Amino acid sequence: MNKPTKIKELTSHEVSQLLTDKKFSKLKPSNCSQCGEKKRFLRRIFKVNGVAESKHSDDKTQNNIRLQFKQEYSIDFIFFKTHDGRFFVDSAVCEDCKSTAIVYDIDLFDPDTISEISKLTGQSKEEIIMGLRKTSDMLENE
């Protein structure tokens, strides 16, 4: 018998503590799809209980949770994260227009990310940064 899915919003203190973890914070709000704001977001993070670890990445499970968030919290965009064996939903609210349609992205120029890429590819950090800038410029000009 399946346990029911239970969702609990973290307190602002719990959110602050979780966001100090670099691994959890790599994927973060980058811009509001409604007004274009790029900096000021209020994070809302929820702990999800009752979902087997093998189902954290399951499309059906995630779609059911998305529907629940849309209905119960009026949140448009959510992002699923597994961290230290726990299952979370990460969302944000634009402080300018109050939209929850917030696009998330990874800061590729983060020093820790650059170090990880360097270790994986064997390229120097400088080569990685130059390649990322070149790719970024090329994509912006398309």
- If pLDDT is split at 50, 70 and 90, which confidence band does 2 have? low
In our burial notation (b when 16+ CB lie closer than 10 A, e otherwise), range 94-133 reads beeeebbebebeeeeeeeebbeebbeeeeeeeeebbeeee
- Is residue 141 predicted with pLDDT exceeding 80? no
> Which has the higher per-residue pLDDT, 49 or 112?
49
Chain segment 17-72, per-residue pLDDT in tens = 999 998 898 899 999 999 999 999 999 999 999 999 999 999 999 999 999 999 99
Structural domain spans, the chain: 6-106, 107-142
What is the mean predicted confidence (pLDDT) over 103-116? Answer: 85
Task: Give me 123's structure tokens.
Answer: 């390229």
pLDDT of residue 1: 45
The CA distance from 77 to 62, in Å, is 12
Task: Give me 42's structure tokens.
Answer: 């209020």
